[in-house]
Amino acid sequence: MTQRTHFQLFIDGIWTEGSAGQVMTSQNPATGEDWASFACAAPDDVDRAIAAAHRALSDPAWRDISQTARGKLLSRLADLVEKNAARLGEIETTDSGKLLAETASQTAYVADYYRYYAGLADKIEGAVLPIDKPDMHVFTRREPIGVVVAVVPWNAQMFLTATKLGPALAAGCTVVLKASEIAPAPMLEFARLIEQAGFPPGVVSVITGDAENCAIPLTRHPDVDRIAFTGGPETARHVVRNSAENFAVTTLELGGKSPILVFDDADLEGAANGLIAGNFGASGQSCVAGSRGLIHRPILEALIAKIEAKMQSVVVGDPLDAGTHIGPLCTGAQIAKIETTLAAAKEQGAKIRFGGERLDRPGNYMAPTLVECPNPNTETLKVEMFGPVMSLLPFDTEEEAIALANETEFGLGSGVFTENLARAHRVSSRLKAGICWVNTYRAVSPIAPFGGYGQSGYGREAGLEAIQDYTRTKTTWINTSDTPMANPFVMR
């Protein structure tokens, strides 16, 4: 990919430039060089995408096909995603800096999300109600909620698209996907698969652009019925305010400062691997990063020694190279934030056990870093840095560990490492987080709901319940009596 590639918007089944002619460039984080350009949507393009989605809801080509047929379209999309996983992975790696080994395998696995919702498409059911009125047949049915706006960030695009698009299409909705203006190339390329799968025009459009010209008019548009947003809390507040204009049902999947609790009875090998996966997997660019390691004091030094030993063989380098373990960060701004946060932590008495510096090479490379923190107020324990920084803090008792874990405004992921089954149940039940992994970390599945508490958002993605969030319940009353309806002005 040495020649610059250009990506267009996909609106109403047509590839197009933005109506205002705005074009942005995307840098390869591994080299710092521009590698692609992409068209940006203007308010007119947003109107066109929403109008197409609104029209498609009533178009017999989408409205009248059976739920089973919708499932078959999703199955076809799943096959295309799986077939093109390597190509999509290479584009995502070049655009975002994530390891090719991760982007290609994650994209291939994402096909199972579309297959899962393909299987649920014809299992969206209503009910006949045992109503307390004579001669009344009353039943419910679940209908598509309508036009969905799905806002997806750059850091796990194929996964976060599937958790929204899969249930929305299975429910019969239409969707406008908004890719981040940072590294949007894989989502714009993914739109080709939507086209190839055979979805009718307007059912899915894929656009990108800045906040003023794209995101704001999109999330406040009067014809939007539902918003599914993944991103940061500050942006989410703007989305919620915008949704006051259209009363769109809104779900938010936001950031986190997830705790990983390691008790003195834990398997240290597994715990070290869990901490490394939770902090250095995806170069730390994960909303569920386990960036607050809470370690039982008696094993702190032994665990640090094991982590340090494992990190000796970790390769930081070209994300397209199969031998690389940690790649660059997506943007230079992330490194600047990490450097500022580390400086503040050192002033507070934190000890940098390894790493702590930007690597002297082209691209956005940050050395994987381990910080030993003196107290819970250490800056690295509070700030979501979105980079490869692990912070460890000792605790003395189980109660203290739980209190420290819950001492945060976030509540997305959490982890517990212990060989004591009773403790695993006891502690996991008290952690204020939407996900708890025990003796593992960062595992996901289309079958398992994903979402958080507090500043980590509300609503759930994936799992059986997610599909219900893309429907509305309609209640129908049928008078089965031969007797005409009684005079409403005669009370009996």
Helix axis angle, 157-170 to 100-120, nearest 10°: 10
The neighbouring-strand residues paired with 15 are 10
Angstrom distance (rounded) from CA 403 to CA 395:
10
Residue pair 85/104 in contact (Cβ under 8 Å)? The answer is yes
Name the helix (H) or strand (E) containing 312: none
Angstrom distance (rounded) from CA 488 to CA 492:
10
Q: Which residues have C-beta within 8 Å of that of residue 177, sequence separation ≥ 6?
A: 150, 152, 161, 164, 165, 187, 191, 204, 205, 206, 207
Name the helix (H) or strand (E) containing 317: none
- C-alpha closest to that of 439 among 265, 309, 303, 183: 265
Strands (E), 193-263: 204-208, 226-230, 249-253, 259-262
Structure tokens at 320: 């397209």
**From the CA atom positions of the chain, what is the Rg in Å?**
25
Select which of 253, 372, 379, 384 is catalytic: 253
- C-alpha closest to that of 124 among 477, 451, 475, 464: 464
Catalytic residue list contains 253:
yes
Active site residues: 253
